[in-house]
Amino acid sequence: AHTFGEQRKGMAQASEILRQIAGDSRVANGEWRLVCAGAKPPTELGGWPVTAAGSLAPSEMAALYAAADVLLFTSQEDNLPNILLEATAAGLPVVALDAGGVSDIVRDGVNGALVALSDLPGAAHAVRELLGNAELALRYGMAGRRLAEAEFAPGRQASAYLALYEELIDAPRREIARVGNRAEAAEGAPELALAWRLERARAEADSLREHVAKLRAALETTREQAEDLRKHLDQKQKDLDSTWA
């Protein structure tokens, strides 16, 4: 989030979830720690002291995902959050509230725990369970990595866009709309009625050709963006490999 005070990101819910775990001795003795990346995080959240990682470069974020045990995600509304895609790709199990498109990424009992927006005790239980069960966390993390490769890899996304555009381009043109009053008025003169219908058909065909041209241009742009994204990810992987070397 741009700020930890942003209500939509569910900081109040995160604080309550963490408060329900804060009494565990492993929080007090520092075995379980809360790390927050980003600008100006609070010094304390839900009774947990915050280790502030600050604003991080992408390669540093990748290292943080790899070092973490659980990601707690508490947004109250969201679409397909990048942080969940990144965490899942990094093999990090997730505990998330079920808002918006979160369920497209977090599969309950597969790569993490997905709980109802109002079930904060359930989220607290899931966090505690994953922190205390390394085998379960590893199983969820590995399943998440497989999920990311199978469903959210850039190549898969590019192929899906390509298939959609091709389907739209090749789909049969919809039936020309019913001729209006002008044709109906010419009903007694078949030649005039036919001319009107041909005029409408030419207009529809011209509009369709323009639409197809735009789709083809969008398809080419998507291909270029996919190639740029592949190059970008290859470079980030090299940076990450270099970081851990």
Secondary structure of 48-113 in HEC code, one letter for each residue: EEEEEEECCCHHHHHHHHHHCCCEEECCCCCCCCHHHHHHHHCCCCEEEECCHHHHHCCCECCCEE
User: What percent helix, strand, coil does the chain show, rounded to 5?
Assistant: 60, 10, 30
Q: Tell me which H or E stretch contains 44.
A: strand 44-45
Phi, psi at residue 221, to the nearest 5°? -65, -40
| pLDDT tens by residue, 44-100 | 999 999 999 988 999 999 999 999 999 999 999 999 999 999 999 999 999 999 999
Q: And the tokens for 36?
A: 């927050």
| pLDDT tens by residue, 117-166 | 999 999 999 999 999 999 999 999 999 999 999 999 988 888 888 888 88
Global model pTM greater than 0.85: no
13: left (phi over 0), alpha (psi -120 to 50) or beta: alpha
Secondary structure of 105-139 in HEC code, one letter for each residue: CCCECCCEEEECCCCHHHHHHHHHHHHHCHHHHHH
